[in-house]
Amino acid sequence: MQKEIIQEVQVKKLNTTNHHPVQINKKQAEIRLVNSTISEQDKPAPENTMVAQAKPNKEQIVAGRAPRSKKIIPYTTYQETESVKKTKKEPNWIVGLGMATDFSNSKKLGLAFEAVVGYALNPKITIMLGAGYRESSAFKNNDGQTLSATDEKQLESATVRLSGVEIPLGLRYNVNQRLYAKVGVSAFATIKQRGELTYVSTVSHTQSIVDPNGEVYDKTFTSEERSVVDIEDQPQNKEKYKSFINISFGYKYPFLKNRTITLEPFFKLPMQSSKIENVKFSSAGLRLGIDF
Pairing of strands 260-270, 241-254: antiparallel
pLDDT band at residue 97 under the 50/70/90 scheme: very high
If residue 134 lies in a helix (H) or strand (E), which one and from where to where? Answer: strand 125-141
- pTM, two decimals, is 0.62
For the segment 207-232, what is each residue's pLDDT rounded down to a tens digit? 777 778 878 777 777 778 888 888 87
For the segment 253-262, what is each residue's pLDDT rounded down to a tens digit? 998 888 999 9
3-state secondary structure of 145: coil
CA 139 vs CA 102, 186, 269: distances in Å: 14, 21, 15
Dihedral (C-alpha) 262, 178, 168, 257: value to the nearest 10 degrees? -60
Within 13 A of 221's CA, how many CA atoms are on the CB side? 7
CB atoms within 10 A of CB 24: 11
More confident residue, 104 or 41: 104
116-130, 132-146, 267-281 — most confident range? 116-130
Which pLDDT belongs to residue 267? 96
3-state secondary structure of 208: strand
17-21, 83-87, 147-151, 201-205 — most confident range? 201-205
Residue percentage of the chain with pLDDT more than 70: 64
For the segment 11-53, what is each residue's pLDDT rounded down to a tens digit? 444 444 444 444 444 444 444 444 444 444 444 544 444 444 5
More confident residue, 203 or 63: 203
**What mean pLDDT do residues 3-7 have?**
46
Which pLDDT belongs to residue 47? 47
104-113, 170-179, 253-262, 271-280: which range is least confident on average? 271-280
